[in-house]
Amino acid sequence: MAGFGTVGSGLARVLDENRQWITERTGREMVIKTILVRDLAKPRAWPVPQGATLTADPAVLTDDPEIDVLVELMGGIAAPHAIIKRALEAGKHVVTANKALLAEDGYDLYRLAEQQNVGLHHEASVAGGIPIVQTLKESLAGNRIGSLVGILNGTANYILSEMTSNGLDFATALGQAQELGYAEADPTLDIEGHDTAHKLVLLIRLAYGMDYPYAELPVQGIAGIDRMDIEFARELGFRIKLLAQVRDVDGKLEAGVFPTLVKHTFLIARVGGAYNAIRLEGNAVGPVFLHGLGAGSLPTASAVLADLMTVARGAAPHNTGFQRQVPPRADILPPADAESSYYVRAMVPDNPGVLRDLAGAMADHSISIAQAIQKGQHPQGVPLVFMTHAARASAIQGAIAQVQAAGLLLAPPVCYRVLQ
């Protein structure tokens, strides 16, 4: 095992507590022989398993012929890539939770695993304890997936839930998440949407057998969300969630990570706290909804253990869910051509004709307004809120640029998609 932090400690605990159950399920016993750590003297959250040894030398794991499986739980990209590659070259199966590595720099590892006829398993890389990887690879493999929407980051969901339910501002909710251990000291990956984007890239590969390059995926985080918009969304019957989204639009993939208004009656709008959820639509199965803890010691360890049990049963490697280990590039719908309904809030001076001018700018770009609300005076001006019918992203951007150029706004506008 490479890494003995939160998830590694959880895995050791589950292997110890469920040892007999695992043997009854697989017919084999799992033993941790060696654990790679950075600091041999650091106190551990769970005791080092009996008979296991700690090492700071990766070669002790990768070059030991008695070790069948490498479990990589280190995080990062460069160092884990080198260790996984060496393990695969030695003919060892690999289980990893490293979504960033697989999303940004994993194709040579898939090729190598295929050449060596070994597993490169990653159930724990997406949505913690929710079994979405195996679901897409096996249970729903016969379906064409029309769309997939997910809450894939518990930190962001906790922050938005606290802002919605308890009226906290963003900074206070983030600080609370850090105190509870839901957010890292540097929460950038979570709140800027990049962690969610890594996971979405992997889900697109599993669901569509296509590569949507991570660098080309539109990503918008939650750091700029104002409590004012949380309240307006509630008044309109919506909740704001950070969603990963992909759908097939006439053979092209439209995908991205965005703060999104979701009707309060939708199941995914009710997912609170640090939980994750995924809703997908298959052409045979119809809608499927999965919900569970997206991170944490034991939920993530549960996903790692599922992969280990797959290896223990001697299942043939089926690493990508497709015959090809390196998928073709997706035919991507240009983000500017993506259509959605929108929530738009503009802060404007309390002058006659402003509402007319804003509505006129939208009309100039063929945007149909479903609802317009003018709220009371705020310190920053008067908020005007528009709910639009479906419109292209390029049209929304054009209308916003027009009103900004006309000097109608007192602050940058807020614009969020609405989930249909």
Nearest to 400 by CA among 338, 353, 358: 358
- Residue 353 CB neighbour total at 10 angstroms: 9
How many whole angstroms separate alpha carbon 122 and alpha carbon 119? 10
298 Cβ neighbours under 8 A, 6+ residues apart: 10, 13, 14, 129
114 Cβ neighbours under 8 A, 6+ residues apart: 317, 319, 325
Which helix or strand (DSSP H or E) is residue 388 part of? strand 382-388
Lookup result for tokens 């993939």 = 253
SS3 label, residue 120: strand
Positions annotated as catalytic residues are 199
| One-letter amino acid of 337 | D
Nearest to 91 by CA among 108, 72, 67: 67
Q: Is 111 exposed, middle or buried (0-12, 13-18, 19+ CB in 10 A)?
A: middle
